[in-house]
Structure 1
Amino acid sequence: MADSTSTHTVVPPVAPLAPPTKPDFHPTLAVSNIKNNIPIMLDMDTDRYGTWAELFRIHARSHRVLHHIVPVADKPPPPVTDPTYEQWATLDATVLQWIFSTISIDLMTTIMEPDSTALIAWTRLADLFHDNQNACAVTLEQEFSTVRMEAFPTIAAYCQRLKTLSDQLRDVGAHVNNHRLVFQLISGLTDAYKGVATLIRQSNPLPSFHQARSMLTLEEAGMAKMKPAEPPTAYVATQSRPSVASSQSSDRRSSNRSRSHNSKGHGGNRGNGGGSRSGTSQGSSPPMPPQPQYFPYQHWGWAPPPWAMPPCPYPTS
């Protein structure tokens, strides 16, 4: 009798499905206002492309999206079928918004096209500012060679203008080294800075531009302290305005002289006009009304007595 063996099929347990992983939150999406990090508004008239581009590259590098404007060989854009394409497209659109938010409307309408990427917009901007390099270099070179301190209020403003022009020349391919920048700085100074200019010129090695600027700034502060202090405005006004007491005293003296002159004139007329008839008896003069009394110390707070003052005697005919 043959033994019958029963076979059992073992089914392996099914592993539970892993939940879909959420993409990591990218720091680029946390930027709410790009103008806080790139305060320069790029325009064709201002010609600050070099400064704007450097600030933009620094900001893109800090947020790990530099490859969207500077292509990398080992990091090309993913294909549309790639699962990471959606996140890449979101980040690229964010960088494109950064570009449009920091340029003028004229530049934005010039480089904008449907379905554009951040790299395309970045390349078009670079071409716009690099096409006329030779013409810009000639204009900037002429302005750089004619900068003088007389046109600026302070040393800081004068040095800042020279540094800006040198940066613009560097952006168009005409690099300005430190020696030329320092020599142009001291050649445009006024006569008041001759001593410092001679000291910088005779230094060996020649100081850097920032060191020369610091020396000129200290000299400017020292000359400002040596200027004589002007008197306060209130003191000048007090010295030029006469005192109130002296003006009142002069007014009283002139009034007393006029009263004395009038009294003498009335007495002479009464003595010489005895034959006139004016409704009064001949030889007698009508009583004069009491004259107001002047007290020279009223401006000190002293008041006259409350009783009436007796009239002064007047001469009769």
Structure 2
Amino acid sequence: MSVHSSISGATNPFAGPDPADIRDINIHDRVPVILNATNSTYCAWKTYFSLLFHENNLVDHVDGSVDSHAMVDDSKWTAIDATLIRWFFTTISKDMFHTVVSDGDDARAVWVKLNGFFPDNKLRRRVFLQQEFFYCRLDDQSIDDYCRLKTLSDELRDIGAKIDDDLLLNMLTAGLNEDFGNAAANLTLMPKPSFPKFVAYLRLEERRMK
């Protein structure tokens, strides 16, 4: 059953999805990351949630367009709001939970707190992410695990520390272990190089070596 509901023509201008449908969503399937202040999950976490809000007509719970205080008597609204808060609390680390939890917060307040935490610590996160990015090596990891380089670069771009495509591809190649020596040389000859092309080639090479 779809959780979408058309607002146009509804008697209640804030009519939205059925609270039961929202409550039954498996949040860990839809947001398969845990937000942590010390790792590079913020960009992915925020992206997954933004998609979830848009897919299920929940944006007005977090964007400030609706005054939640005016909705306290709307059981449907408050039930959905409570579900969103539960989603947030179960997709963040224990340390972050204790930092942001507060009685009386609505979903919008929790969302703002969690997103505000990262710009407020932008310099600290930039140092941490740059260190992880520039010292990332394949070692005994799989190619898929090693490709967290892309996630790290997205996180850095998200806080204004741009990692251009050439640098990303150079770091991907430079961090390969000696088993991928021939692959690294071949990557430099690839026409119109891109991250997806490099990763696809390295996955095939990994499969061949196994």
Give me the TM-score of the superposition, normalised by structure 1.
0.54
What's the offset of the Cα at 1:209?
Answer: 0.8
> Aligned-pair distance for 1:115?
2.2
1:201 matches 2:188:
yes
What residue is the counterpart of 1:4 in the other structure? Answer: none
CA distance in 2, matches of 1:87, 1:46: 36
Instruction: Give aligned pairs, total.
Output: 197
Counterparts of 1:196 and 1:104 in 2: how far apart (Å)?
38
The aligned residue for residue 65 of structure 1 is: 58
Cα deviation, residue 58, structure 1: 1.3
How far apart, CA to CA, are the structure 1 residues paired with 2:115 and 2:89? Answer: 14
Aligned structure 1 segments of 4 or more residues deviating by more than 6 angstroms: 21-25
Cα offset for 1:43?
Answer: 2.5
Is 1:46 aligned to 2:39, yes or no?
yes
Matched, 1:77 2:62: no
Pick closer, same or farther for the CA change 1:95–1:124 going to 2, 3 Å. Answer: same
Q: Tell me, what secondary structure is at the counterpart of 1:184?
A: helix
Give 3-state SS (helix, strand or coil) of 1:174's partner.
Answer: coil
Aligned equivalent of 1:169: 156
Mapped to 2, the partners of 1:100 and 1:56 lie a distance apart of 13
- In 2, Cα distance between equivalents of 1:35 and 1:192: 36
Mapped contact 1:170–1:176 kept (Cα < 8 A): yes
Determine which structure has more spread, i.e. the larger CA radius of gyration: 1
Asked whether the equivalents of residues 28 and 63 of structure 1 are also in contact (C-alpha less than 8 Å), the reply is no
Say if 2:169 is the partner of 1:182.
Answer: yes
Q: Which structure 1 residue ranges, 5 or more long, are not aligned?
A: 1-20, 225-317
What secondary structure does 1:106 align onto?
helix
2:137 corresponds to which residue?
148
- What are the residue-to-residue correspondences of 1:1-317 with 2, within 5 Å? 26-30=17-21, 31-32=23-24, 33-72=26-65, 76-77=66-67, 80=70, 85-149=74-138, 151-158=139-146, 160-205=147-192, 207-224=193-210
Give the CA deviation at 1:28.
4.1
Identity of aligned residues (%): 30
> Which has the higher mean CA deviation after the structures are superposed, 92-101 or 54-63?
92-101
**CA shift in 2, pair 1:130/1:215, >3 Å:** same
One-letter identity of the residue aligned with 1:67: D
Query: 1:118-146: CA deviations, max 9, x gaps?
Result: 11111111121221211221222122122
From the two aligned structures, give the one with the greater helix fraction: 2
CA deviation vs aligned residue, 1:244-298 (integer Å, no higher than 9, x gap) = xxxxxxxxxxxxxxxxxxxxxxxxxxxxxxxxxxxxxxxxxxxxxxxxxxxxxxx
1:248 aligns with none
CA distance in 2, matches of 1:47, 1:114: 28
How many Å separate the matches in 1 of 2:15 and 2:121? 43
What is the aligned-residue RMSD (CA, Å)? Answer: 2.9
Distance 1:105 1:219 in 2: 39
Whichever residue aligns with residue 209 of structure 2, its letter is M
The SS at the match of 2:97 is: helix
Contact 2:165 2:194 in 1 (8 A): yes
Contact persistence 2:72–2:78 (CA under 8 A): no
**Which amino acid is the alignment partner of residue 183 of structure 1?**
N
